[in-house]
Structure 1
Amino acid sequence: MAEERDSVNKPNRKVFIGFLGAGPYTVCNYYFDSVEDREMHVRHVQEAIVRHECKGWTENDRILIFLTEAAKANNWEDGKFDDRDKDDNTKPPIVPGKDKWGLHHQLVKAARGIGNDEDESAAIDKKIFPESIITPVSLDCEGFSETEIWKIFSCINDNINNNDEIYFDFTSGFRSLPMLGMVLLTYLKNTKNVTIGQIYYGAFEKMGTVGMVKNIPIDERNAPVLRLKSFSDIMDFSNAANVFSKYGNSLLLCDMIDRIWVKRSNDSSEFALEMKKMMKPLSTNLERITRMLQTCRGLEIVNGDNVKNIRICIKNIIENDTEKNGPRRALDPILEMIESKFAEFSDSKKLKNGIVAAKWCFDNGMTQQCITIMQEMIVSICMDAIGMDYTCKEDREMIGSTLQWIGGKKNFEATEKHKKTRNDLEQVFSSERMKAVGCAYSSLSEVRNDVNHAGFKLEKSQRTSGRFKVGKEAFKDLSDSFGKNLPLFEELSEFVKEEDDGILKKLNEELSLKAPRISENDKEEILDAWKTIRAKTDFLSMRLQQLQLGNGIMTRPAGLIENECLQYLNVVKDLLK
């Protein structure tokens, strides 16, 4: 097992993981970013990677080389050339009494800062990492069956600590290693919170077959070391997208966007800077709308600005990014998925956004938020329909109690205000529809109170009767109730006449021109008066339309209602003179 670490006193480890095979290795020169940046005369790619990438590592870090007994004898320890190594007889002996150097010997030289072709005595205060971190890890199988692959999986897992930073090379070893490695890294990220520093592959085969390579002069045998961390990022990205798709939580997706595009400090290319500029607003607005739904921010949900901003961000990314380099190639389907996830939302101010949000929460398993948002939106829609300000706390409470009364709440003493409000609602929506809305509202109230008070406020008879269920049964009950009432709630939202921001803007401009000396307080008062007049006019107009269609009960002559509409409109005209 990996040694226990004091997470308070020690920093997270950097851990290199490499595999050593038992077959022959051919000398070549491994390069990284360019041929000029190469490690010369290297038999094992692990040596090249360690020399190039592990400078400055400390006693806390580890270089783990996994090997079988055959690999240890053939390639870890120093030995003699055999027929398979004959082309390398041109290399001078490096180890006294031996012809072929082992990987362990070369890693020790690397730790001491000795060049591959330098003599042992060349090291003078040139250490690049401690020799003690070089750690061979024995494998007692070769991975030729599923059982053996699982043993290798367990062996690697046992040598990794929580929060390690992994540098993984899968050049050598088993044919199944690339698949095993990617699965293992994903597993470790989820179970031990490891991060991926880099993934390497030494592309020896770029030079041709081993036979072809042996006919190339050693100084011309140049093979690239590929950095493949971006493919691990794509696996994380797809996992984050899946979480968002299934559960509506974008926080992991935002984290991946920030990690891949926004917080990349080592890439200052024009493409990277442009992507950062476009991706940051997308991440910000996705996080904001997730937090908004999680915490039931009704006014922000209704406003629609976040959805609008997300659509603008996606449009900018698609239209302005034509290169689609690296992870960007995998982004388009995820952008489409984000768009479809918010397709039913309006990007302008609409109360119907609240009904959409409640359904969205329900579809994504956010039960408590679904109940809360839906109940509050019923109140808001009813208030808006009869010309009341749905942001007024006292009026919201009065509407809520009126709905409970309409829904059949017992022992309710209705005031004149309750009665008038009920009459106004029934004029707009009809008494039959309001009865259904009131019942649905009351039902939601019971469930909401039960959930928000964690079941502690239930009467003893309710707790023992089995009426209020838990787990899957409770969710099924809510699902059935929500599914049954959703068409009613959606129908209710169709009665809403949304506020015309354009008219308000025009009014503000008119007030500034016609009365330049008017105080800001007076201007706000006039604007508030306009909103009230607008709401009442909409209510009367809607009521007239309902009556003309034969809905509801005729309580006043249609002519009288028309005259009231004209009266309010004349007030507006006088206001602007």
Structure 2
Amino acid sequence: MSRRILLSFLGRSEYKPCFYTYQGKQSTYTRFVQTAIYEFMKNDGEMDVVIFVTKEAKEQNWHDTVNRKGEKLEGLETAFHRIAPEANVKLVEIESSQDEAANWQLFDAILQEIEEGDQIYFDITHSFRSIPFVALIVLNYARLVKKASIGKIMYGLFEQLGNPWEVDNIPPEKRLAPIVDVTNMATLLDWTNGVDQFIRTGDASMIKQLTSTEVGKVFRDRSSKPEERRQMAELRGLADQLDLVGKSLQTSRSLQIAEEVKKLRRQLHKVRELETDAIKPLIPLLDEIEKKYEAFTDDELDNYFVMAKWCEENRLIQPGLTLLQENCVTAICRVFHIDKTDKNKRSDIHSAIRILLERIPKEKWRVRDINFVEEMIDKLQPYREWLKPFNVITEYRNDINHAGTSANAREAKVLYNQLSKSLKELKLLFEKMSEISKEKTV
């Protein structure tokens, strides 16, 4: 079972006592936000506490002290004993300097306190200078290398009460300072990483996982409103559709890809229309997602080329070569009114192109329908020059599909570069097929 752990920093200020509030609950009267957060979170299960403290802050606020007015001030150690004596609290000393060496030491110190699979609750109330930045990096690093997760990131909004000298004049019962949950800031970072992964690779799996997590939170929350659930369902629909488009391209589903992209655009529009604070920060990221598919149009033949180009841009070499070659055949079917799903006809078109390009004598033909092949050779003759790169794709596609097991297998970098080369060479063919198709329509 994963451990729940609260990570916090203790500063040197003379903290004033108050009641902290969170989700309608009120803490014990305390100088320290750490005890309040522990009180609010402990009901969800056992929680360890790690306090990072400089030597100066330890002297000032860990132990009981006396201020300049001669007033006794309770230290954090005593406060935990009074409010939550069962708490397992560990003190970790850190350097007070903030240079690069100290930041790396802080990175190591925080990481050492995180165990495999920990659920981390992070208090940033008294983090100073570069500490929040370093800590956020550690949290992301720990999620990767230690499979840790973020429970909550919290901030005690004591300054809402005013300056310390003003707080002295506020009766204790009116000193109510809210604790703010800022976990969404980390969630936004996750979304940014997820969209970045998608933009670079076309892989939407991280976006789908993040969406599933956020949707689950809302649907498990009994207090969530029906409208909020509807909005999150739309967000889940976007993630599912985005994932489906990616999988369709990765698996070369040439006859479904363009339609799935249309569905994705419709879902993007729906999500943009949602009026919720949770969606607003994602709008610029949604724009980046839409840009990923902006090359797709309403022109069917153009889209057949765009699919293969998309694969090249996202380094999907095998699907790209497959789509480029098969979409050449599909484009020919479209122009000459042949059923593009007829397996035998497609096979004979492949043969017709090969015979045309290699000028194979009729006695050596190996085809199913000789009359159909002869007809196709005649129809494709005017486009012979544009079809020349077709046979090369067959060689490279077979090389990849047979895992480089042939005696003359090509090097990976050669295969990698061939898709770009073939796209440039076959672009004119797709443009010509599109032109002919439009002329026939007119």
Q: What TM-score does the superposition give when structure 1 sets the normalisation length?
A: 0.70
1:424 maps to a residue whose letter is E
Q: CA deviation at 1:422?
A: 5.1
Identity across matched positions, percent: 27
How does 1:224-235 map onto structure 2 within 5 Å?
224-235=178-189
Residue deviations 1:194-236 (CA, integer Å, cap 9, x gap): 2211101111111222222223222222211110001111111
Pair 1:148 & 2:102 matched: yes
Q: CA deviation at 1:343?
A: 2.5
Residue deviations 1:301-354 (CA, integer Å, cap 9, x gap): 2xx3322222222222334x2x331x3111222222222322233469x35433
Tell me the distance in 2 between the aligned counterparts of 1:377 and 1:442: 14
- The SS at the match of 1:63 is strand
Counterpart in the other structure of 1:329: 280
Pair 1:30 & 2:20 matched: yes
| Inter-CA distance 397–428: structure 2 relative to 1 (3 Å threshold) | closer
- The SS at the match of 1:135 is strand
| Inter-CA distance 48–420: structure 2 relative to 1 (3 Å threshold) | same
| Inter-CA distance 331–383: structure 2 relative to 1 (3 Å threshold) | same
Match of 2:29 among 34, 37, 41: 41
2:68 maps to a residue whose letter is D
Q: CA deviation at 1:405?
A: 2.4
Counterpart in the other structure of 1:341: 292
How does 1:126-525 map onto structure 2 within 5 Å?
130-131=86-87, 133-139=88-94, 141-261=95-215, 263-264=217-218, 265-266=220-221, 268-301=224-257, 304-319=258-273, 321=274, 323-325=275-277, 327-346=278-297, 350=300, 352-408=302-358, 413-414=364-365, 420-421=371-372, 423-425=374-376, 427-429=378-380, 431-437=381-387, 439-457=388-406, 459=407, 462-463=408-409, 468-471=410-413, 474-496=415-437
1:213 maps to a residue whose letter is V
| Inter-CA distance 196–415: structure 2 relative to 1 (3 Å threshold) | closer
Asked if the contact 2:389/2:425 (under 8 Å) is kept, the reply is: no
Tell me the distance in 2 between the aligned counterparts of 1:333 and 1:283: 16
Q: CA deviation at 1:19?
A: 0.8
Asked if the contact 2:12/2:56 (under 8 Å) is kept, the reply is: yes
Asked if the contact 1:307/1:347 (under 8 Å) is kept, the reply is: no
Asked if the contact 1:201/1:226 (under 8 Å) is kept, the reply is: yes
Tell me the distance in 1 between the aligned counterparts of 2:15 and 2:246: 53
Structure 1: stretches of 5+ with no match in the other structure = 1-10, 90-98, 113-129, 498-540, 546-577
| Inter-CA distance 494–367: structure 2 relative to 1 (3 Å threshold) | farther
Asked if the contact 1:407/1:436 (under 8 Å) is kept, the reply is: no
Asked if the contact 2:349/2:376 (under 8 Å) is kept, the reply is: no
Residue deviations 1:358-399 (CA, integer Å, cap 9, x gap): 111111111111011111111222233333322122222222
Tell me the distance in 1 between the aligned counterparts of 2:224 and 2:399: 54
Residue deviations 1:529-569 (CA, integer Å, cap 9, x gap): xxxxxxxxxxxx959x9xxxxxxxxxxxxxxxxxxxxxxxx
Asked if the contact 2:324/2:423 (under 8 Å) is kept, the reply is: no
Q: CA deviation at 1:474?
A: 4.4
- The SS at the match of 1:298 is coil
- The SS at the match of 2:19 is strand
- The SS at the match of 2:65 is coil
Residue deviations 1:239-270 (CA, integer Å, cap 9, x gap): 11112222212221222233334652225124
Pair 1:64 & 2:37 matched: no
Cα root mean square deviation, aligned: 2.8
Tell me the distance in 1 between the aligned counterparts of 2:217 and 2:163: 41
Asked if the contact 1:406/1:435 (under 8 Å) is kept, the reply is: no
Q: CA deviation at 1:45?
A: 0.6
Residue deviations 1:16-60 (CA, integer Å, cap 9, x gap): 1111123322212211234xx2214211110110011122533xx
Counterpart in the other structure of 1:76: 62
Q: CA deviation at 1:284?
A: 2.0
Q: CA deviation at 1:401?
A: 2.3
Counterpart in the other structure of 1:107: 80
- The SS at the match of 2:256 is helix
How does 1:83-98 map onto structure 2 within 5 Å?
83=68, 86=70, 89=71
Pair 1:15 & 2:5 matched: yes
Tell me the distance in 1 between the aligned counterparts of 2:13 and 2:382: 84
Q: CA deviation at 1:435?
A: 4.1
Structure 2: stretches of 5+ with no match in the other structure = none
Count of residue pairs brought into register by the alignment: 439
| Inter-CA distance 143–153: structure 2 relative to 1 (3 Å threshold) | farther
Residue deviations 1:85-134 (CA, integer Å, cap 9, x gap): x5xx4xxxxxxxxx43321232234434xxxxxxxxxxxxxxxxx54x32
Q: Of the two, which has the highest radius of gyration?
A: 1
- The SS at the match of 1:163 is coil
Tell me the distance in 1 between the aligned counterparts of 2:104 and 2:269: 46
Q: CA deviation at 1:445?
A: 1.0
2:358 maps to a residue whose letter is G
- The SS at the match of 1:31 is strand
Asked if the contact 1:170/1:181 (under 8 Å) is kept, the reply is: no
| Inter-CA distance 371–64: structure 2 relative to 1 (3 Å threshold) | same
| Inter-CA distance 150–333: structure 2 relative to 1 (3 Å threshold) | same
Asked if the contact 1:248/1:364 (under 8 Å) is kept, the reply is: yes
Tell me the distance in 2 between the aligned counterparts of 1:366 and 1:280: 26
Q: CA deviation at 1:271?
A: 4.1
| Inter-CA distance 401–108: structure 2 relative to 1 (3 Å threshold) | farther
| Inter-CA distance 180–278: structure 2 relative to 1 (3 Å threshold) | same
- The SS at the match of 2:115 is coil
| Inter-CA distance 318–173: structure 2 relative to 1 (3 Å threshold) | closer
Counterpart in the other structure of 1:518: none
- The SS at the match of 1:54 is helix
Residue deviations 1:442-495 (CA, integer Å, cap 9, x gap): 1111111112222112x2xx35xxxx2324x54334323322323333433444
- The SS at the match of 1:492 is helix
- The SS at the match of 1:24 is coil
